[in-house]
Copies of this chain bind each other. A is one copy, B any other.
């Protein structure tokens, strides 16, 4: 991030969280230009000093007047904060990039992965005097669609069966700490501390902790179903998902089975994915080297491998792929800042 007089004024809401901290790292990495920076958090964190790029910032309490003269606000403080303060910021003329699920499915709110559907936010301009909300998709959706979209563009995906392997980070920094603590406890033969989740996470896995809806899907799974339709602007695409939390720190993996309207062979798919922006292909069959969460941790690109023609579908109408992406980075902070970059 670099101070530039003609850059936007930026605010980060929820700066002390895992994604909030990652916003700062990504802004630096991408040399995002800014005129001023405001770090906002809850009353509990207000008053803390954060040093960022050799300057000291005092964390300010988020209030209704926080957004005076803020051009871009990056929100990652949970859905209820977004619901309350997002519209207040918009009223002040701020463009809000919101990492929560509060507005994602609202009509008129763009839900954007910059490599996938930048056109969805075409009407939104900086310095127009008009505020706006742009929603960041759910981490699992972003990581899945980074790989599926280039294939969808070529052969039209008609159905997608997704099983996820989700990291602790999706539940926040405290969940990552609990996974580490529990693992130490289990190795010492102690009873694991279960505060964030209601069961042992160390050396275990479990169905995603999001509430389960009346159709038996949990909210995390229905995000994949619904957000895919909105992002692809395709009401007919069929998606099912099973979301599982695995004892991994900060990157998600997803096993994705694809059905296409027109045939697509695996060589063409590999070629398409190798040229896709933000995607790296790791698919060395002889060496048994494929994407892993560890490999993509702290990296920007989503990795895809295990690209193969689905033996359960006739002709070349199906593919299986395996995708890994950093949950905090491309799954949250990086994607939000790429959205902000589209505004510049």
Contact = CB atoms under 8 A, between A and B. Distances in A.
Interface stretch (A9-17, A68-76, A208-216): A208-216
Given A187-B184, A200-B294, A212-B288, A160 B207 contact: no
A207 B183 CA distance: 23
Interface in A169-198: 179-180, 183-184, 187, 198
A217 B187 contact: no
A311 B248 contact: no
**Interface residue range, chain A:** 35 or more
A54 interface: no
A25 B199 CA distance: 28
B294 A203 contact: yes
A163 B255 contact: yes
B305 A207 contact: yes
Total copies of the chain: 2
Interface stretch (A45-53, A131-139, A237-245): A237-245
Nearest to A213: B285
Contact of A306 (B216, B249, B320): B216
A217 B318 CA distance: 14
Contacts of A207: 288, 290, 305-306, 322
Contacts of A225: 311-312
B183 A294 contact: no
A160 B312 contact: yes
Given A163-B255, A215-B311, A240-B318, 20 more contacts: A159-B312, A161-B257, A165-B246, A179-B203, A183-B203, A204-B294, A206-B292, A209-B288, A212-B286, A212-B288, A216-B285, A216-B307, A218-B288, A239-B311, A239-B312, A240-B257, A240-B313, A242-B322, A244-B255, A255-B255
Interface of A: 159-161, 163, 165, 179-180, 183-184, 187, 198-200, 203-207, 209, 211-212, 215-218, 225, 238-240, 242, 244, 246-249, 253, 255, 257, 266, 285-286, 288, 290, 292-294, 305-313, 318, 320, 322
27 contacts: A161-B257, A163-B255, A165-B165, A165-B244, A165-B246, A183-B187, A184-B187, A199-B292, A203-B249, A205-B292, A207-B288, A216-B307, A216-B308, A216-B309, A216-B320, A217-B308, A238-B312, A238-B313, A240-B257, A240-B310, A240-B312, A240-B318, A242-B257, A244-B255, A247-B247, A247-B248, A257-B257
